[in-house]
Amino acid sequence: MQTRQLGASDLHITPIGYGAWAIGGGGWAFAWGAQDDNDSVASIHEAIDLGINWIDTAPVYGLGHSEEVVARALEGMQQRPYVFTKCERIWNEQRQIGKSLKADSIRRECDASLQRLKIDVIDLYQIHWPEPEEDIVEGWQTLVELQKAGKVRWIAVSNFSVEQMERIRPHGPITALQPPYSMLRRDIEATILPYCGEQNIGTIVYSPMQSGLLTGAMTRERIASLPADDWRPTHSKHYQEPLLTRNLALVDLLRAIGNRHTKTPGEVAIAWTLNRPEVTGAIVGARRAGQLAELVGAADWRLSASEYQEIEAFLKANPE
């Protein structure tokens, strides 16, 4: 699998990375339902065997559990993949999630992540959300200090606007931005992607398959049977009517395009995001072995111009 340089860093990442959100398991505010840790470890091992060279996680995924599972999967590896994690989302003993960009809080978070991940340095450390918004400069300055201290190699942000990146950039260069991006969520195309391209800020997009909706595996019946603590049916408008009917029709189109190339609908959806030159890589989640094998083909394959236009025509004819 080919690699791409992430911004101005020395990280050369594969076009697809392993997303560790869902493997945090159940029992927290944005869970994907219960998860078997053995399945999670097997899926990470499969990702590495397929050539994927980076894992994206966060402390809040499972309230520490995702990072612990990543550590278990990587234990004993002499050449481990890059490990990316985040800060800013914190929680209390009642498992209530809060937000902090205060310096002391971020330092504690960094140390806790290093301990859970069982590594000496974090390859890419990201501010998860620009919240509280008034503290983003303090938070960014703290990441700069952690980088100078050698606890993290490169520093980045997630879910930031252009204006917010402009505010923090004088205090230290931004290696990368992690925004949401899929053919159903395209707001970053107008300003954020051009800005990142101009400033040589790497772009790692998340939810390229719109949280699993564009994989081809989702049906009305499956959505209706998702566990009660799966966040998607209640928090994502794309899983609800009137958009659900339109989105399932889009999946039918992606399946038809994929069939021409022996690709899955999910591979078409991922490849669509990678078509943008500013996009360095896409985060692809998996919960068990076998899932990534049906998606990894998107890494080095691209849609034709006419196929890209087919999708564009559908979206224009069926707007939100």
Which amino acids are annotated catalytic?
A: 61
CA distance 144 to 155: 7
User: Cα dihedral sign for 269, 214, 188, 4?
Assistant: negative
CA distance 88 to 13: 24
The DSSP call for residue 80 is: P
Helix, strand, coil content of the chain in percent (nearest 5): 40, 20, 40
Q: Is 50 exposed, middle or buried (0-12, 13-18, 19+ CB in 10 A)?
A: middle
| DSSP H or E segment with residue 222 | helix 220-224
CA distance 285 to 297: 14
Contact assessment for residue 6 and residue 15, using Cβ atoms and an 8 Å cutoff:
no
Peptide bond into 265 cis (omega under 30): no
